[in-house]
Amino acid sequence: MEAFGLLMHGFAVLMTWKIISLMVVGLVLGIFVGVLPGLGGPNGVAILLPLTFTMDPTSAIVMLSCIYWGALFGGAITSILFNIPGEAWSVATTFDGYPMAQQGKAAEALTAAFTSSFIGSLVAVMLITFLAPMISSFALKFGPPEFFAVYLLTFCSFVGLGREAKHKTVISMALGLLIAGIGMDTVSGNLRMTFGSDNLLRGINFLVAVIGLFGISEILLTMEERLALRGHAAKISLRTVLKVWMDLPKYWVTLLRSSVIGCWLGITPGGAIAASFMGYNLAKRFSKDPESFGKGRIEGVFAPETAAHASGTAALLPMLALGIPGSGTAAILLGGLMVWGLNPGPLLFVEHKDFVWGLIASMYLGNVVGLVIVLTTVPVFASILRVPFAAVAPMIVVSCAIGAYAIQNAMFDIWLMLGFGVVGYVFKKIGIPLAPFTLALVLGSRAEDAFRLAMIGSGGSVGVFWSNGLVGTITTLAITLLFWPVIDRAFAAVARIWRPTPVTT
């Protein structure tokens, strides 16, 4: 009940014209970012972050989180109308969404996508509302060893549970952690890895890296492809919306199952991509008519969209409660909090109640307003794709440069952005994942500080990470996840040995 009261206080914080306007602006910008080829949630948030530097933290985070919701909504438009997934988590939406559009049911498919996005997000926000305060009050008991163990758990689960080659994830993460350590050491004041360069004294800002890695590299990748589009125009009528909504109760199991999958994979670093595919596959497996999937079945739109959005939203839970983001975009939002001098983690709930509950309330309100905006403006956003890419590409480049410069007012950062753009392009093409890189960049200095404090406390003994039941459990779990592929294979081998051999007669 306490959470409910605080949430109501959060709504009261939001109810100003200024914040509501920022919310609408953020959502529109976000949908725009989601629809445009070459832009997506993470770089959209990173590029637009400098706009919020002069705002108070609550207004700023409301606008940024609304860009995030908007980008999540926008991805479905291109998937369904053009068979072009704006983001990787929208791929599964194309399986049934595009066939529906081909059958003249684009409006139904879009309504289903937006509604299920809303439902997935809503379930995840409810989870955040009631779980985040509990986790954060529990985490108040954490000391440096526990915090380092949690960081280790995050890093190890990326390596152990990720789909990419393990050494590539390790490379991505180690490189991110090393780059985060460039500049002045916060404890001793010594310079590290600067090689005498004045520009590296202040370190490499992770936002500059993110803008290059996601924004510039995406432009280069998009240019490689044939940019011809052939798709459907759609207009959503109130009648269609009501028809889809009336049918919703029929799919309650799919919606619930996908929400649970999404929330789970959002809190753990499984991510929205895995969630959307898992949601789709399970909907197909449990269906009475699995053959109809892939041919324009509305359930095939409900399942991945609900799971992806539940996951994208739930990724904010560990960010708020522990200061550990569950996704790349959540990592950028976390970086935004640090820019405004807020320290994400358990203390945030104690020291900045207005801010935290304002943000949680904005998640509810942002999703409602977002749903209304996308349902009413689909033709406008779909027509953005008529703009030739030759006009869009330089505008994105300019936006990236302005964003990169504005972070520290440094010309060097524009060059860094370009360098990271090339790195991102090459890494994406050879399968080195960028999400662990971003996460490591954001968490690097915090993880190192926690490690050093823990080691100082123990006089240099790594036994501190098993010094009590809590930290020992987290560290052991981290190591188990790191070696999970090996453990999994060992279990499978044992199971094969014990399985009785079928007798053939």
Q: How far is the CB of 286 from other proteins (least distance, A)?
A: 28
Beta bridge partners of 192: 183
Q: How far is the CB of 415 from other proteins (least distance, A)?
A: 6
Residue 331 corresponds to which amino acid? A
Hunting for tokens 């956003």 — which residue is that?
381
- CA 142 to each of CA 157, 348, 462, 471: distance values in angstroms, whole numbers, following the listed order: 20, 14, 17, 9
Query: Nearer to other proteins by C-beta: 166 or 353?
Result: 166
Q: How far is the CB of 500 from other proteins (least distance, A)?
A: 36
Torsion over CA: 255, 256, 262, 266 (sign): positive
Q: Cα(222)–Cα(389) distance, rounded to whole angstroms?
A: 9
Query: Nearer to other proteins by C-beta: 47 or 361?
Result: 47
CA triplet 20, 406, 196: central angle to 5 degrees?
Answer: 145
Other Cβ atoms closer than 10 A to 257 = 18
Query: Nearer to other proteins by C-beta: 126 or 393?
Result: 393
DSSP-derived secondary structure letter, 503: P
Query: Nearer to other proteins by C-beta: 228 or 497?
Result: 228
Distance of CA 191 to the CA centre of its chain: 33
Q: How far is the CB of 446 from other proteins (least distance, A)?
A: 12
Residues 6 or more apart in contact with residue 311 via CB below 8 angstroms: 89, 120, 124, 261, 262, 263, 265, 266, 270, 271, 272, 274, 275, 276, 327
Query: Nearer to other proteins by C-beta: 185 or 354?
Result: 185
Q: How far is the CB of 263 from other proteins (least distance, A)?
A: 32
Query: Nearer to other proteins by C-beta: 11 or 415?
Result: 415
Query: Nearer to other proteins by C-beta: 71 or 416?
Result: 416
Query: Nearer to other proteins by C-beta: 192 or 250?
Result: 192
HSE-CB of 343 using CA atoms within 13 angstroms: 7
Q: How far is the CB of 168 from other proteins (least distance, A)?
A: 7
Contact 458, 467 (CB under 8 A): yes
Query: Nearer to other proteins by C-beta: 41 or 421?
Result: 421
Structure tokens at 499: 């399985």
Q: Cα(76)–Cα(35) distance, rounded to whole angstroms?
A: 8
Q: How far is the CB of 177 from other proteins (least distance, A)?
A: 5
Structure tokens at 32: 């725009």
Q: How far is the CB of 456 from other proteins (least distance, A)?
A: 4
Q: What is the DSSP annotation of 12-68?
A: HHH-SHHHHHHHHHHHHHHHHHHHSTT--HHHHHHHHGGGGTTS-HHHHHHHHHHHH
Contact 307, 261 (CB under 8 A): yes
Query: Nearer to other proteins by C-beta: 305 or 413?
Result: 413
